[in-house]
Chain A
Amino acid sequence: MTGGVSLDADRLATAVRARPLVAGLHGGRFGEIATYLPGRRIAGVRIRPDAITIGVTGRYPATAAEIDADVRAALGPVDRPVHVRIGDVEAAPTTR
Chain B
Amino acid sequence: MTNTIPTAPARPGPGREVAKANGEAQASTHGSTSIADVVVQKIAGLATREISGVYALGGGAARAFGAIRERIPGASSSAGQGVSVEVGEKQAAVDLQILVEYGVSISDLAGAVRRNVITSVERMTGLEVVEVNINVTDVHIPSEDEGDDTPDTGRVL
A→B interface (CB under 8 Å): 1-2, 5, 26-41, 43-44, 46, 48, 88
Contact = CB atoms under 8 A, between A and B. Distances in A.
A46 B116 CA distance: 17
A38 B50 contact: yes
Contacts of A27: 153-155
Contacts of B116: 2, 38
B146 interface: no
A8 to B, nearest CB: 13
Say which size band chain B's interface belongs to.
Answer: 20 to 34
Contact of A39 (B50, B103, B108): B50
Nearest to A33: B105
B155 A30 contact: yes
Contact of B103 (A5, A31, A46): A31
Contact of B104 (A5, A29, A31, A38): A31
Contacts of A35: 108, 112
Contacts of B153: 27, 30-31
Given A2-B116, A27-B153, A30-B102, A40 B108 contact: no
17 contacts: A1-B119, A2-B119, A5-B115, A27-B154, A30-B103, A30-B155, A31-B153, A34-B104, A34-B105, A34-B154, A36-B53, A37-B52, A38-B116, A43-B152, A44-B154, A46-B105, A46-B108
A26 B155 CA distance: 9
Q: Closest 3 A-B residue pairs measured CB to CB?
A: A27-B154, A31-B153, A36-B112
B109 interface: yes
A37 B47 CA distance: 10
Contact of A36 (B52, B102, B119, B156): B52
A69 B108 CA distance: 26
